[in-house]
Chains A and B, each alone.
Chain A
Amino acid sequence: MDTVEVAYESCAEIIERCYAEGWTDGLPVVPATTELVDRCLAELGWNADDVLFHAPVRHIDVPAGKVVVNAILAGCLPPHIPVVAAALRAMEHPDFRANVPVASTGGAAPVLLVNGPARDAIGLNCGGNLFGPGHRANAVIGRALRLILLNCLGATPGVLDLSIQGWTGKYTCCFGENESLSPWAPFHVRRGFEQTTSTVTVLACESPHNVLTRVGDLDADTLLYCAASVVGGLGSHSNGQGYLILSPQHARVLADAGYDARSVQEHLFEASRRSIAELKRSGRLDGRVEIGDDSRTRPRGETPDDILLAVGGSENGCCSAWFPSWSRGRGSIAVTAEIAPDGVVLATNPGPTVAPGTG
């Protein structure tokens, strides 16, 4: 493995050397000494040369040793790293089309949703401020993935990452489902996994859009009307997917009104419809508005399953989030990987289709 020798009087010199080598995402990193890398590999039982990720398009193999080096730089401890490895296996699936969201002007981030016992085992936040700071596992797992994209796949902003704006989730975006406060079966169980299995789901997403409602006397109709306006928003309307992360209180309002997860998905899928005329006027579809376009509609996504529904956050308010998938079309889809060596990797049907317009 390539190494760099650094003389130092304090840890500051070592951190500055990492900056000078161009190894960081802009934030300071934990220096990955060869001794630390060896210890970490031994604890994981990994061989440094075993390939953990084959990057499609770039034709690059990322070995376990490099995954570990980047994970250490990000601040990972050994128990965090299998989640990173599982996320890489998900991103390797052809239907995720890893090169596209990583390189695209659209500026997507891989958004990681973790389910199952691994959440508690690694201290992953599923509750209050789950998209924000304060929890090591959330911060370092997503960050490790970004550092691998930067350092191994050359996803340097302005060079091979051509995001027009990007968003802060490109530093890290990893959270768990608040399964204990969900009125429904966990996301991964509805996708066919056992409740005792741990999974990570990866979807290339834009920044989240807020679904904020009043807290008192909130009824399901009001909530669904507000959520549909966000899910069906013209700025991100496409036949792609998206995560809808309902706060526990929002989920409870819907469950108390008799909605199960599937009926929420079906309702929002229909309510997210926009007329062809609107989609053309807003540039979401090409062509001039024609007679009949006002009465013909398109939903957000291709099936209700494209609204990837999970529960997250704290109980002290009515604030949910919609993470629309990247791309003007169905350019990349969600893939779930079991957090286990050689575990199941599951993509959503139908798979991606040709993404129109820019990518």
Chain B
Amino acid sequence: MNTGLPMTITDTAPRETLASPRLDRPTDAPRLAPAVVRSAALIIGVLSNGKPNADHVIDAVLDRLARAGTIGRIERVTKADPSLPATAAELDVLASRADVVLAAVGDCGSCSSCLVSDTVELERRGAPTAVLLTGPFVPVAGALASLRGYPPLRVVAIPHPVADLDTEGIAAFVEIAAAQVAALLFDATE
């Protein structure tokens, strides 16, 4: 495919300075909060957006993490509206009380962008956070993180659609998802 008009630019061609319509890049690039050491006393924060099946998926992942001996206690927050960001108070509670956070589940345009925004805010508050997104909505994470100058977030992709799955359907992917959550949140060097 021709990707542009044929052009021949000479060395003496005039030059013009164009202003970028994009936001200027942040000067200080933020980082993700460091992963934590695996232990049986960890407090796992949960940020549920209450979407259909979100709590079933979360519970299934927590069950697998508990079997692996990585949960001491659970601190759970459910958002009032999946299409709105979590409140600052909700984020503060999770970031101050939990060692790591699991956020789930993004399976539509608006709820995914809100959940990813929540994830960035939790990372900014120092809480390493894994976010569960269904396949088509995974790119939301990279794009939103990039807009705010963040490196790639801790994203776990799960099948889409997830809303109508039964227990068996969830069980089909939860082992892998839980392993990925653990790999992203827990320090591999221990």
Count of A-B residue pairs with CB < 8 Å: 164
With A7-B14, A101-B110 already in contact, 15 other A-B pairs whose C-beta atoms are closer than 8 Å: A4-B17, A4-B18, A6-B16, A9-B7, A9-B9, A9-B13, A18-B18, A31-B16, A37-B19, A104-B110, A148-B21, A152-B22, A159-B139, A162-B140, A355-B83
Task: Select B14's contact among A8, A17, A73, A354, beta carbons within 8 Å.
Answer: A8
Measured CA separation A141–B25 after assembly (Å):
26
- In this complex, the interface size class of chain B, counting residues with CB under 8 Å from chain A, is 35 or more
| A/B interface sample: 26 pairs, CB < 8 A | A2-B22, A2-B24, A3-B17, A3-B18, A8-B14, A9-B7, A12-B7, A31-B18, A33-B16, A58-B113, A69-B19, A97-B83, A99-B110, A99-B117, A100-B110, A103-B113, A105-B109, A148-B21, A152-B23, A154-B147, A159-B140, A159-B142, A160-B143, A162-B108, A162-B109, A359-B110
Closest residue of chain A to B24, judged by CB? Answer: A2
Q: Is the CB of A1 within 8 A of B5?
A: no
List of A residues within 8 angstroms of B140 by Cβ: 103, 159-160, 162
Contacts A32-B19, A33-B18, A69-B20; A7 near B9 (Cβ below 8 A): yes
Q: What is the minimal beta-carbon distance from B51 to any residue of chain A, in angstroms?
A: 10
Closest residue of chain B to A100, judged by CB? Answer: B110
Contacts A6-B15, A358-B108; A70 near B4 (Cβ below 8 A): no
List of A residues within 8 angstroms of B121 by Cβ: 59
Closest residue of chain A to B10, judged by CB? Answer: A9
Measured CA separation A100–B114 after assembly (Å):
9
Contact with B along A190-210 (1 / 0, CB 8 A): 000000000000000000000
Q: Does A185 contact B (CB under 8 A)?
A: no
Q: Is the CB of B15 within 8 A of A60?
A: no
Measured CA separation A58–B23 after assembly (Å):
13
Q: Does B144 contact A (CB under 8 A)?
A: yes
Closest residue of chain B to A71, judged by CB? Answer: B21
List of A residues within 8 angstroms of B85 by Cβ: 56-57
Interface set, chain A 123-159, CB cutoff 8 A to B: 147-148, 151-154, 156, 158-159
Contact with A along B105-124 (1 / 0, CB 8 A): 00011111110010011000
Q: Is the CB of B143 within 8 A of A59?
A: no
Q: Is the CB of A359 within 8 A of B83?
A: yes
Q: Does B135 contact A (CB under 8 A)?
A: no
Measured CA separation A2–B27 after assembly (Å):
12
Give the number of residues in A that approach B within 8 Å (Cβ atoms).
62
Q: What is the minimal beta-carbon distance from A1 to any residue of chain B, in angstroms?
A: 5
Q: Is the CB of A3 within 8 A of B144?
A: no
List of A residues within 8 angstroms of B112 by Cβ: 103, 162
Q: Is the CB of A66 within 8 A of B23?
A: yes
Measured CA separation A73–B120 after assembly (Å):
31
List of A residues within 8 angstroms of B114 by Cβ: 57, 99
Q: What is the minimal beta-carbon distance from A94 to any residue of chain B, in angstroms?
A: 9
Interface set, chain A 52-81, CB cutoff 8 A to B: 56-60, 62, 65-66, 69-70, 73
Q: Does A331 contact B (CB under 8 A)?
A: yes
Q: Is the CB of A58 within 8 A of B148?
A: yes
